[in-house]
Amino acid sequence: MNLLKKALGVMVVATMVIGAKFWHKSSSYNDVKTQMLEFCKGVAKCKAVFTKNFDTCFDRHYDMGSRRLSSGLNHEAFVQCINHMGGHERLALNH
C-alpha cells in the first residue's frame, strides 16, 4: 500500500511538471504570434507568409527544455525558418 501511494505521488508530480511545460509552450506560442501579427499589421504579404508558416517554424524551434535547461524559443532559428519558408527575407532580429 505504501509503494502504491509513492507511485501515485510520483505520477501526480510528473503530470504537473509535464502540464506546466505544455502550458508554457502554449503561452509562448500565443505571445509570439500576437507580437508577430502586430509587427505585420497592414502588410498583407507579411501576414500571409507569417500565418502560413508560423506553426511549422514554431514547433521546429521551440525547445521543451529538460531538468537542467529551461524551455524557450530559439528566436534566430525561428526567424530564419519564417524567411526561408517565405522564399526571401522579411524579418530580421535586432540584437
Task: Write out pLDDT tens, residues 15-33.
Answer: 887 777 778 888 888 998 8
C-alpha cell of residue 70:
529551461
Q: How far apart are CA 83 and CA 95, in angstroms?
A: 18
Q: Is 53 inside any structural domain? A: yes
| pLDDT band for position 91 (cuts 50, 70, 90) | low
| pLDDT band for position 88 (cuts 50, 70, 90) | low
Q: Is 94 inside any structural domain? A: no
Residue 74: which domain range?
A: 2-86
Q: Is 93 inside any structural domain? A: no
Q: Is 95 inside any structural domain? A: no
**78 Cβ contact partners less than 8 Å away, ≥ 6 residues apart:** 32, 57, 58, 61
Cα diameter, the chain = 63
Q: Is 91 inside any structural domain? A: no
Q: Is 23 inside any structural domain? A: yes
Report the Cα 33 to chain-centroid distance in Å: 9
| pLDDT band for position 57 (cuts 50, 70, 90) | very high
* Domains identified in the chain, total number: 1
pTM value?
Answer: 0.69
Most confident of 35-39, 40-44, 48-52, 58-62: 58-62
